[in-house]
Amino acid sequence: MGANTSHVTDLSENTSLKALVGTESISENDPFWNQLISFTFISPTNSGDSKLLEEAVIPLAKTLIQNNPRTGNFGALVRVFLGRTKELKISTECQDQLFIWQAHNALFMIRCLMKVFIREMSEEELQQQFSFQERAPGSCGEAGSEDLLEELLLNLVHLIVEVPLLDITYSILFEAVTTLLIFFSYQLFHKDILRDGLTYQHIMKGRCLELTSRLVKTLLYNFIRQEKCPPPTAHIFEPKAEGGLLYGLASGVASGLWSVFTLGGAGSSAGIDQDNNLLPLSNQSLLLLLVLVNLTDGPDWPNPFRQAITCFRNTQDTSSLPVEPPHTFQINFNSLYTALCEQQRCDQATLLLYTLLHQNTNMRTYILSRTDMDNLVLPILEILYHVEDRNSHHVYMALIILLILTEDDAFNRSIHEVVLKNISWYTERSLTEISLGSLLILVVIRTIQFNMTRTRDKYLHTNCLAALANMSAQFRSLHQYAAQRIISLFALLSKKHNKVLEQATQSLRGRQGDNVALPDY
């Protein structure tokens, strides 16, 4: 990172970076900035390289923290980036890769520095990093630190919602989404819920508020499109001068925040991680969406992102409402449903499905009306079947989704009409032909038995039994093996119930004496 730098180990010795973090103030009009953001550094694409990058950036960032309140160089870097974003949409239309490449590099540097800033200081101290005491002659007019911070947040949101997703814009869109995620990572370092922070205030109440529905819609479409990272050739800009400049996908913070913004982080298979690495923008967009939706309401205002996610409608819905809910929009439900079915291996996609089923009446009605419910239910059942390989949060979400679905009588009837053949992941017994309802019963019962012998989780046990109870009135044409497992479960539960009663009786007799008459159980 920095001009003429090609490897992480070179960062500490890079003259341009030394100037940036040094004691001399640099005007944003200085040619130095064009040199700084025209670097040949290859951004990391895996967790190991990302950790090396972060370790190399930390001493530089700490030096900048000390000197920046006097030099204002970080604020100048932010203004250089803001200046580039004003022409970014036009540059995309004109295929101006050089302009996009430099804007990406500037944002990449801001993101790397911000990650250290947020970990090392409070928001009040961060605010000072966006201000300065003195400026070099010829610099642009001074702006308040809070205004510059809001301007950066606003430009990031504008960038996400306005710049089209193309091969040449993939990296900078990923950086914009990831940088917003980093801004919200302040909550990780506080036990109390943050409602008064600058980032929270700007996003929830400031000028970003009017872009709420567009941001939520764009993040959903990023998830729906599931665009893979473009091939390396799409990231190479070849100038006329001798040599080439490679700007790869910068995904350093993805691994750093992964275990926090996903539901569990532990217990995910290598195949799942590989899928996420292939779809970095889709994955980061979904994580940002979930973070925004789950922000707490303010003391006197609701979370606008939660309002948007709970009221959006299908593009095919032409009906008009007497009063339009705030921040509503329309999106293609069929495309969203397809993406949800395909991505349930990832716990963040399962959380999105739960959120939509629980909070968005329009989406829940649409899902329950589908005639291909097996495309959605089968991935959920596979999560429960491999309960020992999944983190507990993912299993809970999958189970709650089944609980919500089984509250609908039409669903409970229809699943017994869907016939499945050769379920490859069900290995306990060869099931050449079985109804979706019978398979659901088998998997839920297996989860109950696993819980009784291994985890002994009361919450999991109760919800599994509740799902079976919801379906019980609609049981019909059950597979022989499913019927057998129901009887075996009843026998097991009866045995345990009798054992508990016997222990309770003996305990009571021990306290009161053998001469006390006890009621018959």
Blockwise average pLDDT, block size 10, the chain, 521 residues: 56 84 90 84 66 87 91 92 85 81 91 92 85 52 61 94 91 93 85 75 87 96 92 48 31 29 38 61 95 86 93 89 87 96 93 96 95 94 91 92 95 94 90 93 92 84 92 92 92 86 82 59 47
Beta bridge partners of 237: 245
Please give the pLDDT value at position 453. 84
Residue 318 three-state SS: coil
Please give the pLDDT value at position 247. 30
pTM: 0.84
Q: Rounded to 5 degrees, what are φ and ψ at 434?
A: -155, 150
Please give the pLDDT value at position 301. 83
Please give the pLDDT value at position 256. 29
Please give the pLDDT value at position 144. 44
Q: Tell me the two tokens of residue 12.
A: 């500490």
Domain regions of the chain by residue span: 1-131+148-207, 214-232+279-318+325-369, 370-500
Please give the pLDDT value at position 310. 94
- CB-side neighbour CA atoms (13 Å) of 75: 31
DSSP string, 238-286: --SSSS-EE-----HHHHHHHHHHSS--TT--HHHHHHHHH-HHHHHHH
Tell me which DSSP letter residue 519 carries: -
**Cβ atoms of residues 41 and 249 within 8 Å:** no
Please give the pLDDT value at position 240. 37
DSSP string, 377-416: HHHHHHHHHTGGGS-HHHHHHHHHHHHHHTT-HHHHHHTT
| For helices 347-359 and 333-342, angle between their N-to-C axes, nearest 10 degrees | 140
What CA–CA distance (Å, rounded) separates 442 from 494? 19
Strands 236-237 and 419-420: unpaired
What is each CA distance from 420 to 367, 377, 429, in whole angstroms? 20, 12, 14
